[in-house]
Amino acid sequence: MTTIGLAGAGTIGSGLIGLLNTSPAARNLRLKAVLVRDLARPRPGIPAGTPLTTCCGELTDDPEIDIVVELLGGVDEVFGVVSRALSRGKAVVTANKNLLAERGPELFALAAKYKAPVGFEASVCAGIPIIRTLQEALRADRITSLEGIVNGTTNYLLTRMSEERASYQDCLADAQRLGLAEPDPDYDVSGKDAVCKAGILATLAFGAYVDFRRIPASGIDTLELEDVRQAEAMGYRIKLVAAARRSADDRLDAEVAAVLLPLGHPLASIRMEYNAVLIEGEGLGKVLLSGKGAGPAPTAMSLLADLLDIAEGRGRIPGVDHPFIAGVSALGNRQAALARYYLRLSVPDRPGTLAHVAGLFAQHDISIASVVQPEVPDTAGSALVPLILTTHSTTRGRLDLVLAALATAGWRRSVVLRIQED
């Protein structure tokens, strides 16, 4: 019998407790104690008689507890709980992407020192076995790129906008009502959630720690329905994509951003709150994993899978070659990377504006591929109006110079999206 201490009894914790009580696979797992922050709070998801405590030592210092499951959230305070458990030789299972992204090197160094397994399948894409695939199934291949839809909230919003022609704000309100988006959605829609996951996946895929704070990230919070319409008219679909790939000089190019994907791209058809990750290796070519990327049930399933692996002796004890402690990845120069771009600018509604914009692009050696100016009510030059254009291949550095010149002139960019080719 393997004994578990659970830190955190929120929605995910309650889901895990339910699985421990009902799944035949969990018959040899026993929950001994649950760490909570407030003993007085009602907890309908926890069976009567389950011991509750506010003292982390009752989990980390109990010699009968073999595995500590961390579901508290946060980083620094939680790192104290997890490190204390590891230092006492206990295995750790966590769904905390922020903890791994920010303090993964320290956490895995401690696990290696005390020879304690760490399970973290539930930290990225919930029910999709992406961590296990990268660490086990693809370990013999040399991965050259990965790109994924790793945030269900943004994919739900983009799907609704595409299929129903609903506005961003209306879709967001529905997502919040359904519990698919937080009351404050910034963490999801700005790309902050996705960039943490990108750091974890890139670390495992490319064999050295990728600091998510160095990955350029943007979200979908400036998109409008007009952008979705224009993209699809050109044969593309907008998705928030976390991507990392080996550059020509064997450095790592990584980014999280809304991207125009060709309609035939494997990620373009991923709908609603589903996640998917497309991995390409030198030997196997492309591998696509897709499934439910969020929610209590998928996350609890991944947590239970990690618990079973550890209980049955298959838990991974990190060594000095573990990606999180083997070194730090060198990131490439994003400003020099070539790409095509879609831009929606806000410019004065007066004669000569289009010529002025075209001149700025020509001045910085950027060729314009197409221009669309949606009709708006006559404003007699007193307001800013949308101007949509696409470029031929150029560098982000050159494009930023144009955007800076427009800003100096008092105009602004509303949206800048990379166009991904087939």
Which two tokens mark 349? 């509604």
| Torsion over CA: 403, 405, 406, 410 (sign) | positive
The CA-atom distances, in angstroms, between 48 and each of 17, 27, 43 are 12, 19, 9
> What's the order of all strands across the beta sheet hosting 29-35?
52-53, 29-35, 2-7, 67-70, 91-94, 118-119
| pLDDT per residue as tens digits for the range 134-167 | 999 999 999 999 999 999 999 999 999 999 999 9
pTM: 0.94
At residue 234, the pLDDT reads 95
At residue 309, the pLDDT reads 97
Q: Which residue, chain included where needed, has tokens 């299929």?
A: 163
| pLDDT per residue as tens digits for the range 33-75 | 999 988 888 887 777 778 899 999 999 999 999 999 999 999 9
User: Mean pLDDT for each 10-residue chunk of the chain (422 residues)?
Assistant: 95 92 95 91 79 94 97 95 97 98 98 98 95 95 97 96 96 91 94 98 97 96 95 97 88 95 97 96 96 90 97 94 94 87 90 91 96 73 82 95 88 88 76
Active-site residue set: 197
At residue 44, the pLDDT reads 76
CA distance 94 to 85: 12
- CA 324: distance to chain centroid? 18
Query: 11 in helix, strand or coil?
Result: helix
Question: Is 182:176 a contact under the CB 8 Å cutoff?
Answer: yes
At residue 163, the pLDDT reads 97
- Give the residue among 52, 16, 47 at the shortest CA–CA distance from 34: 52
